[in-house]
Copies of this chain bind each other. A is one copy, B any other.
Amino acid sequence: MTTTSLPGFRDFYPADLALRAHIFRTWRAVASRYGFVEYDGPPLESLDLYTRKSGEEIVGQLYGFTDQGGREVALRPEMTPTFARMVAARAGGLPKPIKWFSVPQLFRYERPQKGRLREHFQLNLDIVGETSVASDVEVVAAAVDMLREFGLGAADFVARYSDRGLISAVLQEMGIPEASLPAAFAALDKADRESEEWVIERLVDARIEPDSARRVLDLTGMDLGDLSRQFGDVAAVGECLVRLNRFREQIEAAGLEDFVELDLRLVRGLAYYTGLVFEIWDRKGKFRAICGGGRYDDLLEAVGGPALPALGFGMGDVVLGELLRDRDLVPEGGHELDDFVIHVSDEQLPAALHIVHSLRARGRRVGFDYRSRSVGRQFKVANQAGAARVIVVGPEEVERDECMVRSMDTGEEVKMGLAELLAGSD
């Protein structure tokens, strides 16, 4: 029998699952503080849901197959197409803005590597039907507050943001044709990892003149002041600058200025972003991006959904889990049991069961020994299970409707009537 999972897939033993549950719980808690509600879709969808958005090239990374009914299907590689489909199905009836989040497991056939497996869980959080700067701030703030909730601080991570709309407007002002913009963004996205020559080559490949390509590359060295001086009186650029100022103002009002930095070199590779883009990185640059997202005002309509503006982000569990482990922010397991009920011999098992189930009915986590072993052995088991309290039931106790209660922290023992025990366990 093979005892391993498929390459790139994880088994979650209880300790692994405890960390995963901690991550999910924290995501859900913060999302709900921001007024987002949870949804989910199926992990298996029609293949064309994905090829429509990402083209045929995505097929190489998909777990796709033909099902027994002859349908072309695929395990979901991302959540946005399902999200778009579900919003489209009820777009008219849903009050705007739609504020939804989900925690899907996603699947890609890629070479497994550090921080990247063939499956991962990814928080997806989106707002639909809203173009305001306040909604841009809301989405970035939610991502930042999630990381803070894990115990990470401004020394641990930073959210870098930029505005795809601003860079588009500047590129168009430089005479770059709109059709070349996606390729230009893809090239700029790699500018800090690749050589200047490489970037310029990619830009020229995208039918941008060598002279213009050089000027595009120069953009990566500019700050907001430079852009404002050179392009500030272009209307489209001016509007973006106003928006970015308001964004900054609101981030400060929210008290998040230590966590959020403008970075005009950030453009993100994906073609569909139209405004705000952002990524969260650990400050030491030791890990892949923790989170990425932005505004995609045209995407829902482009994939056949409703014509509604939207923005959101994805945050995966793999890199985040590595970071939490690295910073020693994985919570301790803690006590698995509140009480352990010891029965001195087999005859007291029914009396012990009565106590066990009465305590469980009060919401307490209670264990006992299935085999009626020695009292010493049962104390050991209670100890291993981390029980905070041990309740001993022997023949005398049964006769008097009593039990002996021992605190495992202090070692203190008291006799107690059953009614008293239960009344004190609510």
Contact = CB atoms under 8 A, between A and B. Distances in A.
Contact of A360 (B6, B145, B366): B145
A255 B353 CA distance: 9
A37 interface: yes
Contact of A305 (B1, B18, B34, B39): B1
Contacts of A2: 46, 48-49, 85
Nearest to A49: B2
A67 B109 contact: yes
Interface of A is mostly: mixed
A33 B249 CA distance: 48
Number of copies of this chain in the oligomer? 2
Interface string A271-315: 000000000000000000000000000000001110000000000
Contacts of A336: 35, 37
Interface stretch (A130-138, A317-325, A413-421): A130-138
Contacts of A41: 5, 11-12
Nearest to A353: B253
Contacts of A12: 39-41
Contact of A33 (B7, B105, B365): B365
A350 interface: yes
A74 B331 CA distance: 34
Nearest to A338: B33
A1 B44 contact: no
A358 B255 CA distance: 9
Contact of A86 (B13, B67, B385): B13
Nearest to A28: B21
A45 B349 contact: no
Interface in A238-264: 249-250, 252-256
Nearest to A21: B38
B13 A354 contact: no
Interface string A334-378: 001100000000000111011011101101111110111000000
A335 to B, nearest CB: 11
Interface residues of A, number: 100
Contacts of A13: 39, 86, 90
A130 B46 CA distance: 45
Nearest to A148: B361
A46 B7 CA distance: 10
A46 to B, nearest CB: 6
Contacts of A82: 11
A5 B370 contact: no
Contacts of A145: 360-361
Contacts of A384: 95
B35 A366 contact: yes
A157 interface: no
Contact of A254 (B63, B105, B357, B367): B357
A42 B10 CA distance: 6
Contact of A39 (B14, B49, B360, B371): B14
A337 to B, nearest CB: 6
Nearest to A371: B132
Given A4-B89, A17-B38, A33-B363, 8 more contacts: A1-B305, A2-B46, A9-B42, A14-B38, A17-B40, A65-B65, A132-B370, A254-B357
Q: Which 3 A-B pairs have the closest CB atoms?
A: A1-B304, A65-B65, A253-B350
Interface of A: 1-7, 9-14, 17-18, 20-21, 29, 32-35, 37-46, 48-49, 52, 60, 63, 65-69, 71, 73, 75, 82, 84-86, 88-90, 95, 97, 100, 105, 107, 109, 119, 130, 132, 134-135, 137-138, 141, 145, 249-250, 252-256, 303-305, 336-337, 349-351, 353-354, 356-358, 360-361, 363-368, 370-372, 384-385
10 contacts: A1-B84, A3-B85, A5-B41, A5-B85, A11-B89, A12-B41, A17-B38, A35-B366, A43-B43, A253-B351
